[in-house]
């Protein structure tokens, strides 16, 4: 899938800025026809004392959307974390850490928490999607071979469901796209609540009479 840039000269269209460097989020916006510009946000992603995983993900999504200055555009921020037994699994530090994470997820269910925020015309809305994901049992050889692909090394929980990781996932209970990193249905509802029209393509502002 190719990235679409914000079209020039299309009167009435609302530009979109994705505050993320994730190729998967770029691909998903492109998949549903939302033209966009990529401007990654650089924010502190450290946990606050006592912060719950869901609250953490939503705070970061909102922080990313707020960090980009684009007065005339819709800014979209998102954050995804993996949680098992109450522990958040971030991106692995190294191959040993990746192996530890995958061993822990092997043959079990965990929760993927993805928050999304959208900011436009002085308003910001956000929401969170939680999805249960179940892995098949993995042998030490499976884990070593998967790590050798390098796919796990830049992903929360040390796996990517849209790549080789698809073959180790037995079940997804919830929004598959949230596991990829952007809950598209929830995003579309947020955009609608902000007064934007998504008609299966680029965004337009809803007029006061309710039309595009």
The per-residue DSSP string of the chain comes to -PPPPPPSS-TTBPPEEE----HHHHHHHHHTT---EE-------PPPTT--HHHHHHHHHHHHHHHS--TTSEEEEEEEEEEETTEEE-S-SSHHHHHHHHHHHTTSEEEEEEEEEEEETTEEEEEEEEEEEEEPP--HHHHHHHHHTTGGGGSGGG--TTTGGGGGEEEEES-HHHHHT--HHHHHHHHHHTTEEESSSSEEEPPTTS--
Q: Which residues are catalytic?
A: 79
């Amino acid at each position: 899938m190719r990235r679409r840039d914000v079209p020039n000269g299309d009167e009435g269209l609302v530009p979109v800025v994705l505050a993320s460097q994730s190729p998967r989020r770029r691909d998903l916006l492109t998949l549903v026809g939302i033209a966009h510009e990529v401007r990654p946000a650089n924010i502190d992603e450290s946990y606050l004392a006592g912060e719950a995983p869901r609250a953490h993900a939503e705070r970061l999504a909102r922080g990313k959307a707020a960090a980009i200055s684009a007065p005339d555009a819709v800014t979209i921020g998102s954050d995804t974390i993996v949680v098992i037994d109450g522990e958040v699994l971030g991106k692995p530090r190294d191959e040993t850490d990746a192996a530890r994470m995958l061993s822990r997820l092997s043959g079990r269910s965990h929760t993927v928490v993805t928050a999304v925020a959208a900011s436009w015309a002085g308003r910001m809305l956000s929401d969170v999607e939680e999805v249960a994901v179940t892995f098949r049992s993995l042998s030490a050889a499976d884990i070593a071979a998967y790590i050798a692909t390098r796919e796990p090394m830049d992903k929360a929980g040390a796996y990517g469901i849209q790549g080789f990781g698809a073959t180790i996932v037995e079940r997804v209970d919830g929004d598959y796209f949230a596991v990829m990193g952007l809950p598209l249905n929830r995003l579309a509802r947020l955009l609608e609540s902000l007064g934007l029209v998504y008609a299966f393509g680029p965004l337009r502002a809803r007029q006061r009479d309710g039309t595009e």
